[in-house]
Homo-oligomer: A and B are copies of this chain.
Amino acid sequence: MSDGIHALLSPRSIAILGASSDFRKISGRPIKHLLDKGYGGRIYPVNPKYERIGELTCYPSVEAIPGDVDLAVVVLPAAAVVPAFVELGRKRVPAAVVFSSGFGETGPEGKELEAELKAAARAAGVRLCGPNCLGLINAFDRMVATFSQYADGEVHAGPIGFVTQSGAFGTAIAALARNRGLGLGYFVNTGNEADVDFVDAMREVIRDPRIKVGCGYIEGLKNGRGLAELATLAMELGKPLVLCKVGRKSAGARAAASHTGSLAGEDAVFNGVVRQLGILRARNEEQMLDLAEVLAYCPPPQGSGVAIATQSGGAGVLMADRAEELGLAIPVLAPETQRQIMATIPGFGVAANPIDVTGQFVAEPAVLRESVLLMLEDPRVHVGVVWLQLMGAHVDLLLGIFDEVKARTALPFVVCWVAAPERAAAELRRRGIACLRGGEPAIEAIAGLVRWAEARRRWLAERQARDAVRLPALALPDGGGVVPSADAARLLGAAGITLAPLELARSADEAVRAAARLGFPVALKIESPDILHRTEAQAVRLGLADAAAVRKAFAEVTANALAYRADARIDGVVVQKMIAGDVEFVLGLKSDPVFGPVLMAGLGGVLVEVLKDVAFRRCPLSAPQADEMLEALQGKAILAGVRGKPAVDRAALVRLICAVSRFGAAAGARLAELDLNPVLLSPAGAVAVDTVLVLEPR
């Protein structure tokens, strides 16, 4: 089946079903584009109304085409599309792209027709892109099978592959890329994704050795596992993926749901998982292109030290501000480097970092050239950025400087040229040098480059840790619903999750004996499948120091539970050892519609409850991934000890997160929810105190 997708993107012959001789029409434009752009394969218009379209023979049917057909472009009325796939199957056409609308996007009837189409395509053995899409371009082969406005202009091939779920927005993004002289090797609009989805298309695109970066615009992703596999492939190939996904907020998600009709999944989950997968997420279309440009042109940096050269102190400050906000380092340059730079620039320049080389380089190019080379040689510097403005009269001089810098350094560097003369930016890009339009965008793109390089290093280093992850064998009960505390404790304990020890007691005597075994002080909590909110029912007693207190508490929690709900089934009372801790933490598992079991982690109290300071990751996590996850928390400083408290045992917390994540992965579709709240952290360890485990029935 993957051959079908290869045929879709690299066809040697194309049939256009419903071809028109009017090249302004949707059904004529692909023919015009294929001819105009110089597509090298065969073009077969199919329409019984015509014998010829321009110079091309037009065929009455697919069957009548003399040679093999790799790709069918279907521009028929919706009702005629399903029958056409039978014909395509007979002709053994491996792939088709369907422009026609009138399917899932129109309502319930359209959804039914789309389901029929999907079945027909599968039965015919034809991979299907669309329906309701603008089509696709393989710019290397001049294969322009689209009616997108983007194709009205030149479609330069280049190292960026672009796959978009939206036609209109995708067209705008492609045009922006062209405006800045970035070549898109591929442009693919997946439309309704009845068969070929975003992940399928991107997988094929990044396999092309000419593609260096995959860019995607996403409105709703269904195939979370597919995205994870795609990310793994991208890491293996060493190619960054940059995604712009809309629907960050509820108003946006509401609009996205009404627009795509698909469940977008929770955005915070998406955010956490793409970070885990080493995928870069762009805020918007411009940032996606900034990232693509820098990633396509720069080698991966070996660290996060950024050196900045400017001819304006203020611009340097602006960039240093943004760099610090994004966790990049702006190292003070070594004294020797500063000395050498000062020997190069005028006395009123600044040689620290940011460097202010002053405007003197217009008269003496070496001022800029040698300063940049010197700063890039400083051992604490891993990426350079050079800020310029205007300089309309000195473009050639500057191009010469950058040619020489590029020839003499192996380090990544980026030019930021505000109000650049048009020729300057285009010429720099032609030389493989990224040219950004402003200081903040430049630093944001560099931050993406640094983050990607870090993620790939981590990915390579973690390979063994990841491969060593073994999922526990879980003896889950067949039924669904809340698992009784003692059973849950056994299941979780067997999976290596550290819990405060507990026993179920059915009488006050049993409770006292249990407390003696566990060791005082203990807590008592009612155990009833009918009472989930035990605190609300006043059916919890904490800090019981002796047998008498346990006896009294047993009577109280039982009475309060029945007072709260007279018909509650009481299974007994849970006796649990009290645990000391300095910091409250929260861990949870839930089943995400896109990514399956995901783990949530956060610091307890106001940070979780008021600021929603939590992070999500897909299960299972390796130890380095768990550690990196903690770094994503705003309140992470608390783990290292604040307000006079000691640092908690971070390694124990990481082990606990990993164990919980393996439990989630092993439970798979059986998992509904696991809540460990609070988990108590101290220098002595990380222990879950209260647990709620809910399963789906087998």
Residue pair A259, B389 in contact (C-beta under 8 Å): no
Q: A255-B352, A354-B255, A390-B175 are in contact. Are A313 and B419 (CB under 8 A)?
A: no
Residue pair A325, B172 in contact (C-beta under 8 Å): no
Residue pair A390, B318 in contact (C-beta under 8 Å): no
| A260 adjacent to chain B (CB < 8 Å) | yes
Indicate the member of A284, A311, A323, A438 with the most B CB atoms within 10 Å.
Answer: A284
Residue pair B348, A317 in contact (C-beta under 8 Å): no
Residue pair A321, B259 in contact (C-beta under 8 Å): no
Separation of A635 and B635 alpha carbons in the complex (Å): 13
Residue pair B392, A314 in contact (C-beta under 8 Å): no
Residue pair B250, A324 in contact (C-beta under 8 Å): yes
Residue in B171, B323, B325, B643 whose beta carbon sits within 8 Å of that of A609 in the complex: B643
| A87 adjacent to chain B (CB < 8 Å) | no
Query: A167: shortest Cβ distance to chain B, in Å?
Result: 8
| A468 adjacent to chain B (CB < 8 Å) | no
Residue pair A389, B168 in contact (C-beta under 8 Å): yes
> Which residues in B have their C-beta under 8 angstroms from that of A353?
255
| A312 adjacent to chain B (CB < 8 Å) | yes
Residue pair B419, A359 in contact (C-beta under 8 Å): no
| A179 adjacent to chain B (CB < 8 Å) | yes
Residue pair A168, B311 in contact (C-beta under 8 Å): yes
Separation of A313 and B220 alpha carbons in the complex (Å): 12
Separation of A283 and B316 alpha carbons in the complex (Å): 14
Residue pair A314, B610 in contact (C-beta under 8 Å): no
Query: Which residue of B has the minimal Cβ distance to A106?
Result: B348
Residue in B171, B250, B283 whose beta carbon sits within 8 Å of that of A440 in the complex: B283
Query: A501: shortest Cβ distance to chain B, in Å?
Result: 28
Residue pair B607, A606 in contact (C-beta under 8 Å): yes
Residue pair A168, B249 in contact (C-beta under 8 Å): no
Separation of A202 and B391 alpha carbons in the complex (Å): 28
Residue in B252, B611, B638 whose beta carbon sits within 8 Å of that of A634 in the complex: B611
| A197 adjacent to chain B (CB < 8 Å) | no
Separation of A609 and B644 alpha carbons in the complex (Å): 11
> Which residues in B have their C-beta under 8 angstroms from that of A634?
611
Separation of A171 and B330 alpha carbons in the complex (Å): 26
Indicate the member of A165, A354, A356 with the most B CB atoms within 10 Å.
Answer: A354
Separation of A312 and B313 alpha carbons in the complex (Å): 41
Residue in B101, B171, B256, B350 whose beta carbon sits within 8 Å of that of A313 in the complex: B256
Query: A362: shortest Cβ distance to chain B, in Å?
Result: 11
> Which residues in B have their C-beta under 8 angstroms from that of A352?
254-255, 258
Residue pair B166, A313 in contact (C-beta under 8 Å): yes
Residue pair A642, B176 in contact (C-beta under 8 Å): no
Residue pair B172, A390 in contact (C-beta under 8 Å): yes
Query: A163: shortest Cβ distance to chain B, in Å?
Result: 13
Separation of A105 and B350 alpha carbons in the complex (Å): 11
Within 381-408 of A, Cβ neighbours of B (below 8 Å) are at 389-392
| A285 adjacent to chain B (CB < 8 Å) | yes
> Which residues in B have their C-beta under 8 angstroms from that of A165?
314
| A466 adjacent to chain B (CB < 8 Å) | no
Separation of A324 and B250 alpha carbons in the complex (Å): 8
Query: Which residue of B has the minimal Cβ distance to A359?
Result: B168
Within 75-101 of A, Cβ neighbours of B (below 8 Å) are at 101
Query: A679: shortest Cβ distance to chain B, in Å?
Result: 17
CB 8 Å contact bits of A562-595 with B (1 = contact, 0 = none)? 0000000000000000000000000000000000
Indicate the member of A250, A311, A314, A605 with the most B CB atoms within 10 Å.
Answer: A314
CB 8 Å contact bits of A596-612 with B (1 = contact, 0 = none)? 00000000011101110
> Which residues in B have their C-beta under 8 angstroms from that of A392?
149, 152
Within 545-574 of A, Cβ neighbours of B (below 8 Å) are at none
| A637 adjacent to chain B (CB < 8 Å) | yes
| A439 adjacent to chain B (CB < 8 Å) | yes
| A219 adjacent to chain B (CB < 8 Å) | yes
> Which residues in B have their C-beta under 8 angstroms from that of A611?
611, 634-635
| A67 adjacent to chain B (CB < 8 Å) | no
Separation of A490 and B607 alpha carbons in the complex (Å): 37
Separation of A635 and B310 alpha carbons in the complex (Å): 39
| A418 adjacent to chain B (CB < 8 Å) | yes
Residue pair B418, A176 in contact (C-beta under 8 Å): yes
Q: A179-B419, A312-B166 are in contact. Are A325 and B149 (CB under 8 A)?
A: no
Query: Which residue of B has the minimal Cβ distance to A607?
Result: B606
> Which residues in B have their C-beta under 8 angstroms from that of A260?
313
| Interface CB pairs A-B, < 8 A, 27 | A166-B314, A168-B314, A169-B314, A172-B419, A175-B419, A246-B314, A246-B317, A246-B318, A247-B321, A248-B325, A249-B324, A251-B330, A252-B320, A252-B324, A255-B317, A255-B352, A258-B313, A259-B316, A284-B318, A284-B439, A285-B418, A285-B438, A286-B437, A606-B635, A606-B638, A606-B643, A611-B635
Given contacts A179-B419, A251-B330, 4 further A-B contacts (CB under 8 A): A166-B313, A252-B318, A255-B352, A606-B606
Which 9 pairs from chain A and chain B are nearest by CB?
A: A259-B313, A172-B389, A252-B321, A168-B312, A175-B419, A249-B324, A246-B317, A166-B314, A172-B418
